[in-house]
C-alpha cells in the first residue's frame, strides 16, 4: 500500500453559520489505527465527512499527501480514501453483491471496464466480512448488523490505503464487533492501511488504537497513545463522567469503568471510592 498522509490544517467546519469544528489541526499517523472519541454531537462525524471530501470547510483544509482534497477530483480522492458514514441508506431492492460492487466505482472508467481484478476484490471483501451466504439478499431485508457488514464490505471493496469508518460497530453484537475490529486490525498490521474510526466503546478503542483523538468544543482536546489519553481526568473533561481507569486483564490496555448506579456487590467499598473522586 502506498501509505497516504492525511492531515487537517486549521480546519473550520459547520452547517450554515453554526461552527462545529473550529480551526482544528490534526496529523493522522500513516499506517496506524486512530480512533476519534468524544461526546454525542461534538463533531466526530462532521470531521470524518470533511476528511472524505463530503463537507467543504469554511476555512482551512484537509490535506492528502500535502494536497488540498477540495482541489482534487472526487474520484481521485475516492481511489485513495474510503468512508463508511454513520448512517447510510441503500436504494430499495439492491442486493449485497450489487452494493459491494459499487465500491469498485472509483476505479472504473470508460477505458477501464469491470475486470477479473475487480471481481476478485469484491469476492475478497464479501469473504472478509463473512457476507458470502447473504450476497443475493436485498439490503433492506437484512438485520442491522448484517447491513452494517454489507456496508463495511463495500468500503473494503474500494480497496483504499486510508479507510475512515464512522461507528462501524454500533449495530453489531459483541462477536461481530470483535470480528470487524480484528479484520480492521489485520488490514492495518498486514497491509499497513491507515484506519481512522469513531468508536464509542473506550475499552475497545484502547485495545485496537495506536492513537486516540478526543474531540471537545470543536477542537482536539487530547491526542496520543491510549495509555496517555484515557485517564480519569480526561474522561471526566471530555464525557462529563466519573470513572475508574484500570488495566485490561487480557491486553494490558486501559480499562475504563464508569461510575453510576447499578446492582453493586461491593456497595460500601465502591461508595468510598466514588466519594474520594467527586
Ligand atoms: N446536516 C446537518 N445540518 C445541520 N447540523 C448538523 C448536520 N449534521 C450534524 N449537525 C450538527 O452538528 C453537530 C455535530 O454533529 P456530528 O458531527 O454528527 O456529531 P458526532 O458525530 O460527534 O455525534 C451536532 O450539533 C449536529 O446537530
Ligand atoms: Mg456521529
Does the C-beta of 41 come closer than 6 Å to ligand 1?
Answer: yes
Q: Write out pLDDT tens, residues 47-71.
A: 999 999 999 999 999 999 999 999 9
Q: Ligand 1: does its nearest atom lie under 6 Å from the Cβ of 38?
A: yes
Residue 51, domain CATH: 3.40.50.300
In a domain, 198, yes or no: yes
Count of structural domains within the chain: 1
Strand order in the sheet with 6-15: 18-28, 6-15, 59-64, 67-68
Tell me whether residue 206 is in a domain. yes
**pLDDT interval class at 4 (50, 70, 90):** confident
- Mutate which of 45, 50, 87, 238 for ligand 1 pocket (most atoms within 8 A of beta carbon): 45
Is the pLDDT at 32 greater than 70, yes or no? yes
Dist. CA 49 → ligand 1 center (Å): 11
What pTM, to 2 d.p., does this model score?
Answer: 0.93
DSSP state of 6: E
On the question of pLDDT at 139 being above 60, the answer is: yes
CA 46 – ligand 1 centroid, Å: 6
Residue 242 lies in a domain: yes
pLDDT of residue 91: 85
Q: What pLDDT shows up at residue 2? A: 61
| Spatial separation of the C-alpha atoms in residues 239 and 226, rounded to whole Å | 16
Exposure string (b/e) for 194-217, b if CB count within 10 Å is 16 or more? bbbbbbebbbbbbbbbebbbbbbe
Averaged pLDDT of the chain: 93
Q: Decide: residue 224, CB within 10 A, 0-12 exposed, 13-18 middle, 19+ buried.
A: middle
Judge whether 1 lies within some domain. no
* Structural domain range at position 25: 6-277
Q: Residue 12 domain-assigned? A: yes
Amino acid at each position: 500500500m502506498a501509505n497516504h498522509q492525511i492531515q487537517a490544517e486549521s480546519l473550520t467546519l459547520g452547517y450554515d453559520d453554526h461552527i462545529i469544528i473550529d480551526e482544528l489541526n490534526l496529523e493522522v499517523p500513516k499506517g496506524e489505527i486512530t480512533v476519534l472519541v468524544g461526546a454525542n454531537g461534538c463533531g466526530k462525524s462532521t470531521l470524518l465527512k470533511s476528511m472524505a471530501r463530503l463537507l467543504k470547510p469554511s476555512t482551512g483544509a484537509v490535506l492528502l499527501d500535502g494536497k488540498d482534497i477540495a482541489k482534487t477530483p472526487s474520484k481521485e480522492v475516492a481511489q485513495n480514501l474510503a468512508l463508511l458514514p454513520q448512517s447510510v441508506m441503500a436504494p430499495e431492492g439492491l442486493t449485497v453483491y450489487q452494493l459491494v460492487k459499487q465500491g469498485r466505482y472509483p476505479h472504473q472508467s470508460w477505458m477501464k471496464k469491470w475486470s477479473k481484478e475487480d471481481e476478485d476484490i469484491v469476492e475478497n471483501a464479501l469473504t472478509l466480512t463473512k457476507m458470502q451466504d447473504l450476497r443475493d439478499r436485498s439490503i433492506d431485508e437484512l438485520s442491522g448488523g448484517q447491513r452494517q457488514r454489507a456496508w463495511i464490505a463495500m468500503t473494503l471493496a474500494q480497496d483504499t490505503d486510508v479507510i475512515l469508518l464512522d461507528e462501524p460497530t454500533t449495530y453489531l453484537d459483541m462477536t461481530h464487533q470483535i470480528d470487524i475490529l480484528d479484520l480492521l486490525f489485520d488490514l492495518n498490521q498486514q497491509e499497513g492501511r491507515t484506519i481512522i474510526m469513531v468508536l464509542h466503546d473506550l475499552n475497545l478503542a484502547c485495545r485496537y488504537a495506536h492513537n486516540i483523538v478526543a474531540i471537545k468544543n470543536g477542537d482536539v482536546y487530547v491526542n496520543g497513545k491510549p495509555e496517555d489519553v484515557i485517564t480519569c481526568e480526561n474522561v471526566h473533561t471530555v464525557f462529563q463522567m466519573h470513572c475508574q481507569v484500570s488495566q485490561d486483564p487480557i491486553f494490558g490496555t486501559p480499562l475504563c469503568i464508569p461510575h453510576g448506579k447499578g446492582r453493586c456487590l461491593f456497595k460500601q467499598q465502591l461508595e468510598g471510592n466514588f466519594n474520594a473522586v467527586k
